[in-house]
C-alpha cells in the first residue's frame, strides 16, 4: 500500500465515507486522486456504502498500533527541586499528572497496552496499574548509570508497532493515531539557533542525518514511532550495546544519529509550534502553568522561602550539581545571589546524625574552616550554603595542593574544640556490617573476612601510641575541598565529623588519592612536620587501611540501599587491602 493510499483509507476509517471534496480536505490529497483511488478501493472491496469494510481493515492491519513504551526511569535533574521529591512524570500540569495525560491520550488512540519503564522512585507509579487497564511495568534498576538505551533494551520484547514516549512531555492535542504508515520522529521547525538535536531531511522528509545544535531547521521534540521493521533493526543495536556498553550513557537518539544509514527509513513528522511542550526547568513550568508561580507544592521550595522570608516566585535559576555519594545538591538564585541547597540521600538517616552534623557545621564556621554554611535543619537533614564562584577541587598530583589541605587539617586538629560524640571507624564499620548481614542480604565479597582480619590487626597495633583524639572532619576526600584563586581553602560537608583520631582525616584523603605508600609517607611527613617519627608514620598508614575499610563497608551499605557507588567501592576495597596487607607483612602483625 502506498502512503497516499494509506492516508485515504485511514481517513475513511476515521470519518466514514464522505464526499470526494470532504475526503480531500480531511486527508490533504487532491480531489482527483481521492475520486480515482476511492473507485480502486471499491474494486478491492476495501470500502462499501457504509465506509471501510472488513477487507479494508485487514489491509490496514499491518499499520495498526500494537503498544506504547513510556520511559519514566530517570530523575530529570534539570527539573530540580521538584524532581528531588517526585518523578517528573507525576508533575501535575493543569490539574493532571503528565503521565496520566499521556496514558489517556494513547488509550483514546486505540491502545491500552502501555509499558512503563520505571527506575527513580518507581513505587510512586505503581498505582497506575490499578487505575488503567493494560499497564505493564518494566524496572530499569541501572537508571543512575545507564540512560534510556537500557530502558528500551529491557522493554525490547514489546517493541513492534510502538510509540516511544517520554513521561515528561505535554501534548496540547492528542498526537497519537491508531494506525501509522511508517516510523517517524516528532519535530517542530525553529528559526533560531538552539542546542537541540536537529533532524536533517532528505528530499522525501526522511531523516538523512542528525546533528547536535544548529540554526533554522527541524528539532527533535516529543515522541517517536517505530514500525515493526524499525523496531527489529533497533533491537539489534540495543543488544549490541548491552554487550559493549557503548551507549550506556546515551539516549537512544544517539544510536539513530550514528546508525541512520543502517536503519530503515524514519520520517520527520512536523507538528505545529506549541503543540508539544517539553519542560526544561521549573522556570519553564511557571511560564506555562501559572498555578506554580506562587506555590510549587514543593517542600524544598517552602524550606527555602521560609528560611529567607521570601516568596517562592523570587527563587529561580535552578541548576543541578553533580550528585554526591551521600546527598544531592542544586544551585538556586535569590535576590541576585547564588546559594546551594543540599538534599539528603535515601537511607542516610540510618548512618548519619543530623543534629551532630549541624553542631559540627557551626563549629567549622566559627573557626572559618567552612564559611559557606548558612543553615541546616537537623530533623530533615536539608542544608543551605553560600555559593562560591571560581573554585576548584585539589589535584592529587599536586603537592602544593596537598600542602594547602594539610595546613587546614593541622589548624583544625590543633583547635581547642570538642563535641560530645565520637567517631570510631572500626566500631562504625562493625555496626554497618551487622546491618548488611541482618537486614540487607549479606556480603558477597569472598575476601571480606580476610580483609577485616588484616585491618583489625592494623587497628590494634596503633592503639595506645599517644595520638590523641581531636575534632575531625572524617570525610576529607577531594570533592569536599574548595580551593579559590584567592588562596582560600574551604572544607565542606561535615556529616561524619566528630571527636576522632586525626588519622581519619589523613587516611580519607590518601584513600581517594589512591597513592602508593611512598607518596603517602611524604604526605604524612608534611602533616607532622618536626614531630614526624616512625610511630606516627605507622599510625597514619594504619589509619589509611582502617578508614578505607570503613568507607568500603559504608559503600556496600549504600549500594544495598539502591545507591550506585561506581568505581569508588572498588577503589576503597583496593586501598584497604593494599595498606593492611603491606603493614601486616612488613611489621609481621599478629
Distance CA(37)–CA(209), nearest Å, equals 34
In CATH, the architecture of 3-63 is Orthogonal Bundle (1.10)
Sequence ranges of the domains in the chain:
3-63, 67-278, 298-387, 395-586
Strands (E), 162-216: 162-166, 169-171, 184-190, 194-201, 207-214
Q: In the prediction, which pLDDT does 81 show? A: 87
Give the class (CATH, top level) of 298-387: alpha beta
Cell numbers given for 276: 508539544
Give the class (CATH, top level) of 395-586: alpha beta
Pairing mode, strands 470-472 and 391-392? unpaired
Element (H, E) at 103: helix 98-108
Q: In the prediction, which pLDDT does 454 show? A: 98
Pairing mode, strands 169-171 and 217-226? unpaired
Element (H, E) at 385: strand 383-386
Q: In the prediction, which pLDDT does 350 show? A: 67
DSSP designation for 378: T
Average pLDDT, 10 consecutive residues per value, the chain (590 residues):
95 93 94 95 93 96 97 88 88 91 96 95 96 96 90 97 95 95 96 91 96 90 97 96 90 95 96 89 79 74 94 90 72 95 76 90 95 94 93 95 97 92 95 94 94 97 94 94 92 94 97 97 97 97 98 93 86 97 96
Give the class (CATH, top level) of 67-278: alpha beta
Cell numbers given for 573: 576495597
Distance CA(331)–CA(318), nearest Å, equals 6
Distance CA(147)–CA(471), nearest Å, equals 42
Q: In the prediction, which pLDDT does 75 show? A: 87
Cell numbers given for 348: 542516610
Q: In the prediction, which pLDDT does 49 show? A: 86
Nearest to 41 by CA among 21, 20, 25, 26: 20
Q: In the prediction, which pLDDT does 293 show? A: 62
Q: What is the DSSP string of 484-544?
A: ETTS-EEE---TT-EEE-THHHHHHHHHHHT--HHHHHHHHHHHHGGG--HHHHHHHHHHH
Nearest to 580 by CA among 525, 507, 528, 522: 507
Amino acid at each position: 500500500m502506498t502512503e497516499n493510499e494509506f492516508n485515504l483509507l485511514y481517513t475513511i476509517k476515521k470519518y466514514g465515507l464522505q464526499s470526494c471534496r470532504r475526503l480531500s480536505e480531511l486527508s490533504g490529497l487532491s480531489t482527483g486522486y481521492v475520486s480515482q483511488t476511492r473507485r480502486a478501493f471499491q474494486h478491492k472491496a476495501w470500502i462499501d456504502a457504509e465506509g471501510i469494510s472488513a477487507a479494508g481493515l485487514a489491509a490496514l492491519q499491518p499499520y495498526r498500533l500494537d503498544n506504547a513504551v513510556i520511559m519514566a526511569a530517570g530523575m530529570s535533574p534539570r527539573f530540580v527541586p521538584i524532581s528531588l521529591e517526585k518523578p517528573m512524570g507525576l508533575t501535575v500540569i493543569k490539574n493532571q499528572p503528565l503521565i496520566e495525560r499521556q496514558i489517556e491520550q494513547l488509550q483514546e488512540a486505540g491502545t491500552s497496552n502501555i509499558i512503563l519503564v520505571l527506575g527513580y522512585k518507581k513505587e510512586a507509579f505503581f498505582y497506575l496499574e490499578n487505575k488503567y487497564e493494560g499497564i505493564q511495568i518494566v524496572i530499569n534498576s541501572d537508571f543512575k548509570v545507564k540512560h534510556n538505551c537500557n530502558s528500551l533494551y529491557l522493554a525490547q520484547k514489546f517493541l513492534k508497532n510502538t510509540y516511544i514516549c517520554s513521561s515528561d512531555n505535554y501534548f496540547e492535542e492528542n498526537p497519537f493515531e491508531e494506525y501509522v504508515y511508517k516510523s517517524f520522529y516528532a519535530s517542530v521547525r525553529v528559526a533560531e539557533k538552539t542546542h537541540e538535536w536537529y533532524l536533517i531531511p532528505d528530499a522525501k522528509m526522511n531523516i538523512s542525518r542528525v546533528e547536535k545544535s544548529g540554526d533554522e531547521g527541524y528539532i527533535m521534540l516529543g515522541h517517536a514511532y517505530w514500525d515493526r521493521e524499525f523496531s527489529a533493526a533497533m533491537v539489534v543495536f540495543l543488544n549490541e550495546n548491552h554487550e559493549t556498553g557503548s551507549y550506556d550513557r546515551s539516549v537512544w537518539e544517539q544510536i539513530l544519529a550514528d546508525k541512520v544509514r543502517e536503519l530503515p527509513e524514519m520520517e520527520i513528522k512536523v507538528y505545529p509550534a506549541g503543540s508539544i511542550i517539553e519542560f526544561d526547568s521549573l522556570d519553564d513550568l511557571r511560564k506555562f502553568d501559572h498555578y506554580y508561580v506562587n506555590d510549587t507544592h514543593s517542600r524544598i521550595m517552602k524550606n527555602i522561602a521560609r528560611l529567607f522570608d521570601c516568596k517562592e516566585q523570587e527563587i529561580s535559576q535552578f541548576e543541578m550539581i553533580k550528585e554526591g555519594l551521600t546527598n544531592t545538591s542544586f544551585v538556586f538564585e535569590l535576590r541576585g545571589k547564588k546559594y546551594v541547597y543540599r538534599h539528603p540521600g535515601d537511607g542516610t538517616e540510618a548512618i548519619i546524625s543530623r543534629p551532630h552534623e549541624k553542631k559540627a557545621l557551626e563549629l567549622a564556621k566559627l573557626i572559618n574552616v567552612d564559611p559557606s554554611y548558612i543553615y541546616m535543619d537537623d530533623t530533615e537533614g536539608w542544608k543551605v550554603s553560600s555559593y562560591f564562584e571560581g573554585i576548584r577541587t585539589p589535584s592529587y598530583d599536586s603537592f602544593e595542593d596537598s600542602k594547602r589541605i594539610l595546613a587546614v587539617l593541622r589548624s583544625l586538629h590543633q583547635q581547642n574544640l570538642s563535641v560530645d560524640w565520637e567517631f570510631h571507624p572500626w566500631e562504625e564499620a562493625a555496626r554497618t556490617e551487622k546491618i548488611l548481614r541482618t537486614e540487607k542480604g549479606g556480603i558477597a565479597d569472598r575476601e571480606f573476612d580476610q580483609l577485616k582480619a588484616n585491618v583489625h590487626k592494623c587497628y590494634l597495633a596503633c592503639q595506645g601510641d599517644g595520638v590523641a583524639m581531636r575534632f575531625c572532619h572524617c570525610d576529607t576526600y577531594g570533592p569536599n575541598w574548595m580551593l579559590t584563586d584567592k588562596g582560600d581553602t574551604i572544607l565542606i560537608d561535615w556529616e561524619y565529623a566528630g571527636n576522632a583520631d586525626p588519622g581519619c582525616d589523613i587516611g580519607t584523603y590518601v584513600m581517594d588519592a589512591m597513592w602508593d605508600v611512598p607518596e603517602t609517607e611524604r604526605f604524612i611527613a608534611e602533616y607532622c612536620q618536626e614531630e614526624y617519627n616512625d610511630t606516627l608514620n605507622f599510625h597514619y598508614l594504619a589509619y589509611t587501611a582502617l578508614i578505607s575499610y570503613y568507607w568500603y563497608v559504608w559503600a556496600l551499605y549504600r549500594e544495598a540501599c539502591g545507591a550506585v557507588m561506581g568505581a569508588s567501592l572498588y577503589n576503597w576495597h583496593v586501598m584497604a587491602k593494599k595498606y593492611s596487607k603491606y603493614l601486616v607483612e612488613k611489621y609481621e602483625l599478629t
